C-alpha cells in the first residue's frame, strides 16, 4: 500500500519522466538516500538536529473552543511551532544533510509560499552550503516577509517571471538549473512531487509528523483519531501526517484549494477535478484542458497554488484509503479567523484549508475525535490578510 515499487510508482502514478542527463543523478540519489536512511549515524545526527535545532517533537494541542463550537474533539498537530514556522524544515534539513553527505557544495530549491525556501536557506546556513531559491514573481510579492528571511539566511532569491509566475514556474526554473549541472548541484525539492525518488524521499523525511502524532495521541486521548485531516497542495505535509495512520482505522481526509469556483483556472483542487498526466517528471493527477495543456491555478494560498499533486496521494484516493475535497478561499479565511479568535493561534492560510475541511466534517457527523495537521503559522500571510481587509 505504501510503495513505491521498483519503478518508483505508487499504484498508477509516479515514475521518472526526465531528460537523459538526469537519469544517472536520480538513480545515484535514490541509492545514496536508501543507504543514508539505513545508516544509524546519519539517522542519529539528523534526529539530534531535529530535536535541538528544529524543536521536535512538536506538540499536540487540544483546541477546546473549536471543539465546543464544532461539537467535536479537536486536536492540532503543531508544525507551526517548528523552527522556521512550518513542516518544510523536516524535509529541507534531511535533504541538505544528504547533500552534505554526498559532498555537494551548491543547493537549489523552489518555493511557493516561501516556507520551503526559508527552511532550505536556514538548513544551508546551518551546514555552510551555498543556496539559490527560485520563487515565482507573484509569490515574491505576496510572501515578502519570507523573501527577506531567505536573504538574511544568505540565500540568493531568484524571482521567476515566466509562465504563471507561481510555484509551477519556480519548479520549472529550479529543474533547468539542476539539469545544467546535475553532478555539482543538489536539488532540494520541497513537496512530495517530481521524479522518483523525490516523492518517496520527501515522505520519508516528513513522516516524522505522523509518527509523533500517533504516539502522542496514544498517550493523550488514547487509541487513534476518528479522522486525520490535512491541507493538500503538492502534498508533503499531508503525506507526512497520513503515512503513520495508513495501517490504522483512522479516516484520512485531505482538503485542497477550491479557490473561487469549479472552473479551470479558478482553483487548485487537483485530486477533486484533475486527470492523469505528466508534470515535473512524474505521472500524477493534473489540472489540464481537453488538449492536455496544464492550466494556471488560483488560490488565496501561495503554498497550495499548484496544478499537480504527489503520486502517493493519487494512489490513496484511487484505493479509497483517503478522500480529497475542495475548500473555497472564503471557507479557509473564515476558519483562519475562527482559529485566531478562539484559540489564539494564527495558522497559515494553507493550514486554514484543513481547519475549514474539519469543520465541514464535524458538521456532517458530530462527536468525532479529529486530528488536524496545522502545517504552518500565518505570519507570512499578514500582507495578504491585510489586503483582504481582514486585519
Residues 304, 345, single domain; the answer is yes
Q: Residue 302: what pLDDT?
A: 86
**pLDDT cut 70: percent of the chain above it:** 100
Domain shared by 64 and 185, yes or no: no
Per-residue pLDDT at 74 exceeds 70? yes
In this structure, what CATH number is given to the domain that contains residue 188?
3.40.50.1100
- How many structural domains comprise the chain? 2
Q: Which domain holds residue 253?
A: 57-86+207-387
Of 306, 29, 298, nearest in space to 171 by CA: 306
The active-site residue, picked from 88, 104, 359, 380, is 88
Query: What band does 1 get if pLDDT is binned at 50, 70 and 90?
Result: low
Instruction: Verify that 28 and 80 share a domain, yes or no.
Output: no
239 shares a domain with 124: no
Instruction: Decide if 110 is catalytic.
Output: yes
Report yes or no on 230 lying in a domain. yes
pLDDT in tens, 95-150: 999 999 999 999 999 998 899 999 999 999 999 999 999 999 999 998 899 999 99
Global confidence as pTM: 0.96
Is there a contact between 175 and 147 (Cβ–Cβ < 8 Å)? no
Q: Which of 207, 312, 375, 380 is an active site residue? A: 375
- pLDDT (0 to 100) of residue 41: 98
pLDDT above 90 for 316: yes
The answer to whether the beta carbons of residues 58 and 82 sit under 8 Å apart is yes
pLDDT, tens digit (0-9, with 9 covering 90-100), for 231-274: 999 999 999 999 999 999 999 999 999 999 999 999 999 999 99
Asked if residue 2 has pLDDT above 80, the reply is no
- Kindly indicate the confidence band of residue 217, based on its pLDDT and cuts at 50, 70 and 90: very high
Helix 198-206 × helix 88-101 angle, to 10°:
120
Are the CB atoms for 225 and 361 separated by under 8 Å? no
pLDDT one-digit tens code per residue, 355-371 = 999 999 999 999 999 99
On whether both 64 and 139 belong to a single domain, the answer is no
Q: Which of 183, 202, 221 is the last residue of a domain?
A: 202
| Active-site hit among 49, 79, 110, 312 | 110
Q: How far apart are the C-alpha atoms of 167 and 254, rounded to whole Å?
A: 20
73 labelled catalytic: no
- Select from 171, 202, 233 the last residue of a domain: 202
Amino acid at each position: 500500500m505504501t510503495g513505491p515499487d521498483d519503478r518508483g510508482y505508487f499504484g498508477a502514478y509516479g515514475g521518472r519522466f526526465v531528460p537523459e542527463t538526469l537519469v544517472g543523478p536520480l538513480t545515484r540519489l535514490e541509492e545514496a538516500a536508501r543507504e543514508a536512511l539505513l545508516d544509524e549515524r546519519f539517522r542519529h545526527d539528523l534526529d539530534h538536529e531535529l530535536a535541538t535545532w528544529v524543536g521536535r517533537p512538536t506538540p499536540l494541542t487540544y483546541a477546546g473552543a473549536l471543539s465546543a463550537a464544532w461539537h467535536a474533539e479537536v486536536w492540532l498537530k503543531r508544525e507551526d511551532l517548528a523552527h522556521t514556522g512550518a513542516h518544510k524544515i523536516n524535509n529541507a534539513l534531511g535533504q541538505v544533510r544528504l547533500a552534505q553527505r554526498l559532498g555537494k557544495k551548491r543547493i537549489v530549491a523552489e518555493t511557493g509560499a516561501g516556507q520551503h525556501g526559508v527552511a532550505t536557506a536556514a538548513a544551508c546556513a546551518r551546514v555552510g552550503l551555498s543556496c539559490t531559491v527560485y520563487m515565482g514573481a507573484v509569490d515574491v510579492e505576496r510572501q515578502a516577509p519570507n523573501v527577506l528571511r531567505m536573504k538574511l539566511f544568505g540565500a540568493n532569491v531568484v524571482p521567476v517571471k515566466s509562465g504563471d509566475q507561481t510555484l509551477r514556474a519556480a519548479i520549472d526554473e529550479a529543474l533547468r538549473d539542476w539539469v545544467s549541472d546535475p553532478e555539482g548541484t543538489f536539488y532540494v525539492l520541497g513537496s512530495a512531487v517530481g521524479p522518483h525518488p523525490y516523492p518517496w524521499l520527501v515522505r520519508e523525511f516528513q513522516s516524522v509528523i505522523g509518527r509523533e502524532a500517533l504516539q502522542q495521541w496514544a498517550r493523550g486521548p488514547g487509541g487513534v483519531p476518528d479522522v486525520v485531516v490535512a491541507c493538500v497542495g503538492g502534498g508533503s505535509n499531508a503525506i507526512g501526517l497520513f503515512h503513520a495512520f495508513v495501517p490504522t482505522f483512522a479516516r484520512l481526509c485531505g482538503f485542497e484549494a477550491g479557490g473561487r469556483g469549479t472552473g479551470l483556472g479558478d482553483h487548485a483542487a487537483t485530486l477533486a477535478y484533475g486527470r492523469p498526466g505528466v508534470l515535473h517528471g512524474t505521472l500524477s493527477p493534473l489540472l489540464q484542458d481537453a488538449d492536455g495543456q496544464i492550466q494556471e491555478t488560483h488560490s488565496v494560498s501561495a503554498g497550495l497554488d499548484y496544478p499537480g499533486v504527489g503520486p502517493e496521494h493519487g494512489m490513496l484516493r484511487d484505493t479509497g484509503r483517503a478522500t480529497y475535497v475542495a475548500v473555497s478561499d472564503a471557507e479557509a479565511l473564515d476558519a483562519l479567523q475562527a482559529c485566531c479568535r478562539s484559540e489564539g493561534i494564527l495558522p497559515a492560510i494553507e493550514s486554514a484549508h484543513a481547519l475549514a475541511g474539519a469543520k465541514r466534517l464535524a458538521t456532517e457527523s458530530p462527536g468525532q475525535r479529529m486530528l488536524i495537521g496545522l502545517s504552518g503559522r500565518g505570519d507570512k500571510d499578514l500582507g495578504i490578510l491585510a489586503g483582504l481587509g481582514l486585519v
